Amino acid sequence: MFEKPGRPLTIAIDGPAASGKGTLARQIAAAYGLRHLDTGLTYRAVAKALIDAGAALEDVAAAERAAAVVDLGSLDRAVLSNHVIGEAASRIAVMPGVRRALVEAQRRFAQSGEGAVLDGRDIGTVVLRDAAVKLYVTASPQARAARRHAEIAAAGGPETLADVLADIERRDARDMGRADSPLKPAPDAHLLDTSELDIQAAFRAACGLIEQASSDRERM
């Protein structure tokens, strides 16, 4: 659908839970023929390993051991997507040793091919500080909760809208308030507020920013 630029293209997409960044990242990767890594799945895989082993989520040594052996090739979204694992992931994501190991694996992924799209919380600020394009995708907590609740309800989940909103606000507070790599826009990130945008409009806006950045790079 789009011309592939001459040089490897790395695209960093950050934002809070249920902002739409994951869908956007997948669509962008498909449109530009780039590989995609949802880095949230790497934190979720560590959390699931601890839960499966019956270890406490405060067990830093166990979490670091699990992070050291996460296999990026076998991250299964269907298995890792449930909300108990998401909540647990945000608890182990405050541990600097866990972050160091996962960031290293994520950088190896980004640098091992012809460019990639990574989405997460610290891609533009830490993992790929020199990404060609940085997007910070956000939406109001109410808009994000409504979207997430509709997905959960469609799958037959029992949580109320109020439960989902409380969950999102708790996760935002933890992700934005942690000392190591808190969620925030990189100074050179383009902000994309999807509260009032549907996914097609957000995708078109993102493509405009990427085309612009690619042509700027071509001229450099």
Q: Point out which residues bind ligand C5P (CB under 6 A).
A: 17, 39-40, 43-44, 86, 89-90, 93, 120-122, 171, 175
Query: How far apart are CB 142 and ligand C5P at their closest, in Å?
Result: 18
Query: How far apart are CB 93 and ligand C5P at their closest, in Å?
Result: 3
Closer residue to ligand C5P (CB): 9 or 175: 175
Beta-bridge partners for 143: none
State how far the Cα of 106 lies from the Cα of 181, in Å rounded to an integer: 15
Closer residue to ligand C5P (CB): 85 or 210: 85
- Greatest alpha-carbon span in the chain: 54
Grouping H, G, I as helix, E, B as strand and the rest as coil, residue 78 is: helix
Both structure tokens of 162:
């109020």
State how far the Cα of 81 lies from the Cα of 192, in Å rounded to an integer: 24
Closer residue to ligand C5P (CB): 5 or 124: 124
Query: How far apart are CB 122 and ligand C5P at their closest, in Å?
Result: 5
State how far the Cα of 184 lies from the Cα of 171, in Å rounded to an integer: 14
Closer residue to ligand C5P (CB): 34 or 118: 118
State how far the Cα of 1 lies from the Cα of 79, in Å rounded to an integer: 31
Query: How far apart are CB 4 and ligand C5P at their closest, in Å?
Result: 26
Query: How far apart are CB 215 and ligand C5P at their closest, in Å?
Result: 28
Closer residue to ligand C5P (CB): 65 or 122: 122
State how far the Cα of 164 lies from the Cα of 84, in Å rounded to an integer: 12
Query: How far apart are CB 148 and ligand C5P at their closest, in Å?
Result: 10
Closer residue to ligand C5P (CB): 81 or 209: 81
Where helices occur in the chain by DSSP H, the ranges are: 21-32, 40-53, 60-68, 77-80, 83-92, 96-111, 141-154, 161-177, 199-219
